[in-house]
Amino acid sequence: MVNHREQLDRTFAALVDPTRRAILARLERESASVSELAKPFAIKLPTVMKHLDVLEDAALVTRSKVGRTVTVRLAPEPMREAMDWLRRYERFWSASLDRLAAYAESREAKAREAER
Amino acid sequence: MTSLTLVRRIAARPSIVFDALTTPEGIASWWGPDGGPVVLAETDVRIGGRFRVRFRMLDGSQHESSGEYLEVARPERLAMSWRWAGAEDPGESLVEIDLRPIAGGTELIFTHSRLHDEDSRRSHEQGWNGALDKLERHFLSGSMWCPKGATRRRMATLPTG
């Protein structure tokens, strides 16, 4: 549970930064080399490397080196876990509010009966 | 900010919906993600008052949440802090419910926000608004997570006669 929680913290912390989100969105289409990733951003390569360090620490990407090219890939599992965690709230409230509506409607029907 | 917004149209007047949201008897009849029972419901419905609700799911697991009423304006608005008990606790979040009278009943607008404490902390530091919502939509097309302003609607059947 604690590890899971730490992973979630790391995932959300990594996602706070807009450049890192843009990198992830880019990698969602296809894997890319570090220089390809740096191209659309008006930032220097070392800055991109720093963002990649954060993303790798959060296990959101993996890096592999072949020759002189470092390829970055999206690792979807932590993102999926974060989504699952958020969806639990959706399930909880969606089902609860459906039953709340049914309950309130039955109370309304009773109130109308009493007012007649 | 990580938030969930849901809208329900309910064929009942706002005061009845408000009481269903806040009385232990009301809460016991709807609270929880499956058909499992509410085993404890306490409410002290005034600003600064607290609620505590424990429910059992059909798989036998029990879960408890509690919080403080931050705004109480019967019958149109309710806001409360929210916290899961025990190991599930990801920090304090915020629940807001607005009840709007409509023809034949009530439109209920429900928002659960600040769902992750990292999120709420950072949002103050960096003005992070809706960014994660956008990302969720990006990564999860067909998501039920709503951006601010957009809502998912369910029409209740209005009773006739």
Per domain, the residue ranges of chain A are 2-75
A103, B20 contact by CB (below 8 A): yes
Q: Chain A: residue nearest B153 by CA?
A: A94
pLDDT at B82: 94
pLDDT tens-place string over residues B19-45 = 999 999 999 999 999 989 999 999 999
Global ipTM? 0.74
A14 CA to chain B: closest CA distance, Å? Answer: 10
Diameter of chain B by CA atoms?
55
- Residues 6+ away with beta carbon under 8 Å from B8: A97, A98, A100, A101, B107, B108, B110, B153, B154, B156
Class of domain A2-75 (CATH, top level): mainly alpha
Residues of B in contact with A99 (CB under 8 A): 29-30
pLDDT tens-place string over residues B132-148 = 454 444 444 333 333 33
What's the average pLDDT block by block, 10 residues per block, for chain A (116 residues)? 70 85 88 89 87 93 92 88 83 94 97 92
Nearest to A103 among B20, B119, B128 (CB): B20
Domains and CATH numbers, chain B: 4-139 (3.30.530.20)
Query: Are A92 and B32 in contact (CB < 8 Å)?
Result: yes
Mutation target to probe the B interface, by most B beta carbons within 10 A, among A8, A28, A96 is A96
Residue A97: name the closest of B129, B85, B121, B151 by CA. B151
pLDDT tens-place string over residues B89-117 = 778 899 999 999 999 999 999 999 887 75
